[in-house]
Amino acid sequence: MFSFRVLKVDGKARVGELLTPHGRVETPVFMPVGTQGTVKAMLHRDLLDIGTQIILGNTYHLYLRPGPEVIEKAGGLHAFIGWQKPILTDSGGFQVCSLSRGRANGKSRVRVYEDGVEFRDHLAGDLHFFTPEKVVAIQEAFGSDFIMPLDECVEYPTSFEYARSAVEKTLAWLDRSIKAQKREDQRLFGIVQGAFFEELRVESALRTVERELFGYAIGGLSVGEPKEVMYAVTELVCEHLPWDRPRYLMGVGMPEDLVEAVARGVDMFDCVAPTRMARTGTLFTSKGKINIRNERYKEDYSPPDEECDCYTCRNFTKAYLRHLFQAEEISAYILNTIHNLRFYHRLMENIRQAIKEGRFEEFRALWHGSSALQTIHRKEVIP
Q: Are residues 16 and 119 in the same domain?
A: yes
Instruction: Please indicate, yes or no, whether residues 253 and 294 belong to a single structural domain of this protein.
Output: no
Cβ-in-10-Å burial (0-12, 13-18, 19+) of 36 comes to: middle
Rounded Cα gap, residues 362 and 343, in angstroms: 20
Q: Centre a 10 Å sphere on the Cβ of residue 306 and count the other Cβ atoms it contains.
A: 10
Asked if 257 and 331 sit in the same domain, the reply is no
Query: Residue 297 gets which letter from DSSP?
Result: G
Task: Evaluate whether residue 22 is within a structural domain.
Answer: yes
Q: What is the pLDDT of residue 377?
A: 45
- Determine the Cα–Cα distance for residues 258 and 256; give it in Å rounded to an integer: 5
CA 314 → CA 88, 306, 324, 339, distances in Å?
A: 31, 9, 17, 10
E-strand ranges in 21-96 read 23-27, 29-31, 55-58, 87-90
Q: Note whether 17 and 102 are same-domain residues.
A: yes
- The answer on 286 and 211 residing in a single domain is no
Q: Does residue 261 share a domain with residue 324? A: no
Tell me the pTM: 0.94
Q: What local confidence, expressed as pLDDT, does residue 40 receive?
A: 98
DSSP secondary structure of 180-208 = H---SS-EEEEEE--TT-HHHHHHHHHHH
- Rounded Cα distance between 146 and 134, Å, is 16
Residues 323, 250, single domain; the answer is: no
Query: Tell me, what amino acid is at 267?
Result: D
Q: Do both 286 and 218 map to the same domain?
A: no
Q: Which of 46, 90, 145, 305 is catalytic?
A: 90
A 10 A CB-CB count for 1 gives: 11
Q: Are residues 113 and 68 in the same domain?
A: yes
Task: Specify whether the backbone of 51 is left (phi greater than 0), alpha (psi in -120 to 50) or beta.
Answer: left
Are 307 and 346 in contact, with CB atoms under 8 Å apart?
A: no
Residue 49 shares a structural domain with residue 71: yes
Tell me if residue 123 falls in helix, strand or coil.
coil
Is 90 in the active site? yes
Residues 87 and 113 in one domain: yes
Distance CA 311, CA 329 (A): 18
Which domain does 334 fall in, by range? Answer: 278-377
Whether 382 maps to a domain, the answer reads no
Residues 237 and 220 sit within 8 Å (Cβ to Cβ): no
In a domain, 383, yes or no: no
Q: What residues have CB less than 8 Å from 153, skipping those under 6 apart? A: 93, 94, 97, 166, 193, 219, 220, 223
Q: Which of 307, 328, 330, 332 is nearest to 318 (CA)?
A: 332
- In a structure prediction context, what are the per-residue pLDDT tens digits for the chain, which is 383 residues long? 999 999 999 999 999 999 999 999 999 999 999 999 999 999 999 999 999 999 999 999 999 999 999 999 999 999 999 999 999 999 987 777 665 555 545 556 789 999 999 998 888 989 999 999 999 999 999 999 999 999 998 889 999 999 999 999 999 999 999 999 999 999 999 999 999 999 999 999 999 999 999 999 999 999 999 999 999 999 999 999 999 999 999 999 899 999 999 999 999 999 999 999 999 999 999 999 999 999 999 999 999 999 999 999 999 999 999 999 999 999 999 999 999 999 999 999 999 999 999 999 999 999 987 444 444 443 444 55
Rounded to whole angstroms, the Cα distance separating 94 from 58 reads 10
Tally of domains in the chain: 2
* Catalytic residue selected from 10, 121, 267, 270: 270
Both 231 and 284 in a single domain? no
